[in-house]
Amino acid sequence: MPDIPTVTLASGQSVPALGLGTWNMGDDSRKANAEIESLKRGLDLGMTLIDTAEMYAEGGAEKITGEAIAGRRGEVFLVSKVYPWNASRQGVIDACERSLGRLKTDRLDLYLLHWRGEHPLAETVAGLEELQRAGKIGAWGVSNFDVADMEELMTVPDGKNCVANQVLYNLSRRGIEYDLLPWCQERGIAVMAYSPIEQGRLLRNDKLIQISKAYQATPAQVALAFLLEREGVIAIPKSANPDRVAENAAAAELDISDEDWAAIDTAFPPPREKRPLAMI
């Protein structure tokens, strides 16, 4: 089994730095078996963090996740997200209950505000804190928050209890390295890197293909290894193919030389100035 590194959240839990995404799962019953098998394969390989959301297939991905974790809930660090328009104080509580029902569990380990909406952050945070006090969620965080959003969050009551910010981050989207990533690292807020292989688009990059060949690895593995090198970063690749899940897990075993990291920096330059946070 690959030795997957861990990230310790501000709430104290240690979670794998390589987890499993679920976007697009649950939208076609013919694919359900492969999706469930893929998630189970990931759990078997130590990718025991699963990221889902009420948005994905309008609850369908949470149902698939519920099937995959049946009988092994204790092994899993379960993350879901609330739609911004459900994120009033009471709305967030009701949405969480619906997610728990689809996931067939009584508790989420981490619950995220999917992106900023019209409800004041103070209200959303009050609802999340209430869920935490009630034992329905272990911790809470946000998603698609840039530095200014995070700074605002820190000013609302209990806003500093945020443990994670899930954002678009991969080799071709390095903008957060300029400000948001160090901002989160300084405060012990985990960064969950979504679309870590740019939804497959990164895999066609010639430089990445060339470097991966030198390690008998795949471009996906090098792209994931890049994220695993970063302190406090959790990558959540999605695959509905068990063999590709195993391939992704094995990224944890890659040991890329400093010379090749430098070549990767040349091919995918880090930011030299502020870039607005990109979203998919």
Q: Which stretch binds ligand NAP (CB under 6 A): 89-97, 124-132, 188-196, 207-215?
A: 188-196
Give how many residues touch ligand NAP by CB under 6 A. 27
H helices present in 70-194, as ranges:
89-103, 121-133, 147-155, 180-187
Q: Which stretch binds ligand NAP (CB under 6 A): 64-72, 88-96, 199-207, 270-278?
A: 199-207
CB 201, min distance to ligand NAP, A: 8
Residue 11 sits in the site that holds ligand NAP (CB under 6 A): no
Residue 23 sits in the site that holds ligand NAP (CB under 6 A): yes
For the question of residue 56 being annotated catalytic, the response is yes
Q: Distance from CA of residue 165 to its chain's centroid?
A: 9
H helices present in the chain, as ranges:
32-44, 60-69, 89-103, 121-133, 147-155, 180-187, 206-214, 219-228, 242-249, 258-267
Residues 240-269 close enough to bind ligand NAP by CB under 6 A: 240-241, 244, 247-248
- Report how far residue 109's alpha carbon sits from residue 211's, in angstroms, rounded to the nearest whole number: 37
Residue 157 sits in the site that holds ligand NAP (CB under 6 A): no
Residues 210-239 close enough to bind ligand NAP by CB under 6 A: 220, 236-239
Strand duo 137-143 + 108-113: pairing: parallel
- Segment holding 81, helix H or strand E: strand 77-82
138, two tokens: 């272990």
Interacting residues toward ligand NAP by CB under 6 A: 21-23, 51, 114, 143-144, 166, 194-200, 203, 220, 236-241, 244, 247-248, 280
Which are the catalytic amino acids?
A: 56
